[in-house]
Structure 1
Amino acid sequence: MTEPLALTLETPAEHPFAEFVRILGKGKRGARGLTREEARVAMTLLLEGKVEDTQLGAFLMLLRHKEESAEELAGFTEALRTHLQAPRIVVDLDWPSYAGKKRHLPWYLLAAKCLAGNGVRILMHGGGAHTAGRLYTEQLLGLLDIPLCRDWASVEQALDARRLAFAPLLDWAPQLQRMIDLRNTLGLRSPIHSLARVLNPLGARCGLQSIFHPGYQAVHREASRLLGDHALVIKGDGGEIEINPDVISHLYGTSGGEAWDEEWPPLSAQRHVKPASLQPEHLLAVWRGDTNDSYGELAVIATMALALRGLGQHREQAFSTAHAYWESRKNIE
């Protein structure tokens, strides 16, 4: 009688990334946030393509559910900066633009143009039109004559010639773009939206950041402080870096390792009525002086003042400079 063959069972090795999913998802009592070093290692694996799609979705949504910490954002950013190996290019302002506008036109674009026309070197970057019904920076680059740059060399050329450049996230961090694009698959934003704002890929003198959901300002600021960055965070209109002149604006700043706060009062005695529809050509008409827009012009001036505040001017000086820039915009080539 022939003996039955013995079954040889081997326990499969655990995937290296499973550890980080387990840390975040191990029940109410066992789960915790990632340390800064754990976040750095986890993001490195993601950037190197060593993570399964199921792990990526679980990781992003577990982070989203608990809400990302400053330590996690700092660790993610360190991994990205190492991975990018971006060249040294002189930049005054890092200006992330990932939210899009829904209620008002993107007046921040005129603020950036006006600042650039007065010598401020600005890198803008964004992640595409990922949510229906919003106007995104990428859609208005041609209309407003803002240089679209597809590599770092063209960014440097645009900054030297025009002091303003827009670099799509897809071109210099495609892994992050893929994660952002999962929003419509997963149904929720992920921490990658926060990460893109904190990143400051070229090490600008000041990183401007805007959040949409209340409560994230302090987390963004602390992440930048941990990284040793100079940053200024606001709850901007629609999630973009734009001051709403109808409401109080709270500025969360960090410089030299120290955190600071500042509150700006509304610039208008009463709220403006939002437009019935968003017509991008209206931006050009206001820029050229063909028409006036009380809300828009106040938003542009205040947003320029915000940027100048981030570059070291005091509030009164920043507003005075911003008014002068706006009044002389017709001299900008």
Structure 2
Amino acid sequence: MSLAPYIHALGRGPGRSRALTQDEARDAMAQILAGTAAPEAVGALLMLMRYRGETAPEIAGFVEALRATLPAWPGPRPVLDWPSYAAGRSRGLPWFLLSARLVARAGLPVLLHGWNGPQAPHASIRAALPAAGIAEAKDMEDAARLLTRDGIAYLPLEAFAPRALEILRLREILGLRSAINTVLRVMNPAGAPAAVQGVFHPPYRELQADACALLGQESVTVIKGGGGEFERHPSKSIALFGLRAGANWTGEAPALCEETRRLAELPEAEPGGATDFAKLWSGAHEDPFAQAIVLGTAELALQTCGFAEAGGIAQSLWDSRADPM
């Protein structure tokens, strides 16, 4: 087994190189995950794909190989898959965590999973989980338990796919993102029927939607979101890409407010302390712009799960958030 034939196909030069087929991509990633491919070959393959631009069959093949290495999901599946793999360097607080919590309050179990890079604790999405009232799982079994208990859980990548994290962290050596960044957003480790995904670069919206179609995903919404996460900017209209009933789908969400602020201008989390983040949920702090982020993002997630009048449902869930579930 070797990656050489695939590197040859990708790197033959102008007019002669080609993308990998889905089967070839599956085999290549299986070799990488198994540790049988030479490190030099792994870097060459990933950077050639980066240079050429990944294709949907390549991403789908990589996802299939990764899924084959994951532990079996041990309980009832979540309704909504919510990946979080952005670097987080261009944002303030991860308001989308409150959006995910609202969706869970609608009776739709939400599995958040991710890894957000070697960044300062105050900027980490994982550091904000306690303030958002979301528990971090130790492994897949723990995540299934938390979903049953809370309706929502965050599963860190290293807890269920440590080899995938090693490949992701090659960015620190190569200096560039690779196809694994897209793969992790698309992989849906628990097989949820609906998924939401954020991207930083607009062309990846269609790429991820097309890869999800090849993988048989039923419903997905992909947006260019805050810092690359699935988080809606409320003062801008945004293009929507994805799938509905397994078919390609596009849409547009209008602006929700006139106030203009960059998401990075919003406050950051205070490690280990009370923040405007937690206070917004409790009602101790008011910030209409931040609230619009939370509600607008939750609306898109609820739409992805098949809810009509999702905006009104998100508002109702917000208004009743202090009530026991």
- Provide TM-score, normalisation by structure 1: 0.90
Q: CA–CA distance in 1 between the matches of 2:163 and 2:266? A: 37
Aligned: 1:47 with 2:33: yes
Q: How big is each residue's C-alpha offset from its partner over 1:225-277, in whole Å with a ceiling of 9 and x where there is no partner?
A: 11110211111111011111011111112133311111011111241365375
Q: Deviations over 1:14-70 (max 9, x none)?
A: x62211111111222321110011001111111111111111111111111111110
In the superposition, relative to structure 1, how do residues 180 and 131 fare at CA in structure 2: closer, same or farther (>3 Å)? farther
> Is the CA contact (8 Å cut-off) linking 2:114 and 2:157 kept in structure 1?
yes
Q: Aligned-pair distance for 1:295?
A: 1.4
Distance 1:197 1:184, change over 3 A: same
Identity of aligned residues (%): 36
Match runs of 1:305-316 below 5 Å: 305-314=299-308
Q: Secondary structure at the match of 1:167?
A: strand
Structure 2 unaligned regions, length at least 5: none
Pair 1:182-2:170 in alignment: yes
Q: 4+ residue runs of structure 1 moved beyond 3 angstroms?
A: 130-134
For 1:66 and 1:237, how far apart are their aligned partners in 2? 26
| 1:36 pairs with 2:36 | no
The one-letter code sitting in structure 1 at the alignment partner of 2:47 is M
Structure-1 separation of matches of 2:76 and 2:31 = 27
Contact (CA 8 Å) 1:17, 1:42: kept in 2 or not?
A: yes
Maintained 8 Å contact 1:99/1:136: no
Following superposition of structure 1 onto structure 2, how do residues 5-16 of structure 1 map, counting pairs within 5 Å? 16=2
Tell me, what secondary structure is at the counterpart of 1:77? helix
Q: Which residue of 1 aligns with 2:243?
A: 254
Match of 2:6 in 1: 20
2:86 alignment partner in structure 1:
99
Q: Matches of 1:134 and 1:161 in 2, distance apart?
A: 28
* Mean Cα deviation higher: 319-328 or 115-124: 115-124
Matched with 2:183 is 195
1:329 equivalent in structure 2: 321
CA distance in 2, matches of 1:124, 1:161: 15
Q: CA deviation at 1:161?
A: 0.3
Once residues 200 and 319 of structure 1 are traced to their aligned partners in structure 2, the CA distance between those partners, rounded to angstroms, is: 25
**Residue range with higher mean Cα deviation, 87-96 or 303-312:** 87-96
Alignment size in residue pairs: 317
1:139 equivalent in structure 2 = 127
Instruction: Note the alpha carbon deviations across 1:189-215, whole angstroms, 9 max, x for none.
Output: 111110000100111020111110011
**Distance in 2 between the 1:66 and 1:108 partners?**
32
Determine helix, strand or coil for the equivalent of 1:193: helix
- Cα distance change on mapping 1:241 and 1:276 into 2, 3 Å: closer
Once superposed, what is the RMSD of the aligned Cα atoms? 1.8
Tell me the CA shift for residue 131 of structure 1.
Answer: 5.1
CA 1:132 to 1:34, structure 2 compared with 1: closer, same or farther past 3 Å?
Answer: farther
* Structure 1: unaligned runs, 5 residues or longer: 1-14
- CA gap 1:95/1:76 in 2 versus in 1, 3 angstroms: same
- The C-alpha deviation readout for 1:164-197, integer Å capped at 9, x for no partner, is 1111111211111011111121111111110000
Question: Do 2:131 and 2:277's aligned partners in 1 also have CA atoms closer than 8 Å?
Answer: no
**Residue of structure 1 in register with 2:268 after alignment:** 278
| Amino acid in structure 2 at the alignment position of 1:330 | A
Kindly state the Cα deviation for residue 134 of structure 1 after the two structures are TM-superposed.
Answer: 8.0
2:208–2:222 CA contact under 8 A, matched in 1: yes
Preserved contact between residue 208 and residue 310 of structure 1 (Cα < 8 Å): yes
CA contact (8 A) 2:92 2:123 kept: no
Q: Give the match's secondary structure for 1:84.
A: coil
Q: Please, which of 151, 154, 157 is the counterpart of residue 169 of structure 1?
A: 157
Aligned 8 A contact 2:93 2:266 in 1: no
1:44 maps to amino acid: A
Q: TM-score scaled to structure 2, two decimals?
A: 0.92
* Contact preservation (8 Å) 1:47, 1:175: yes
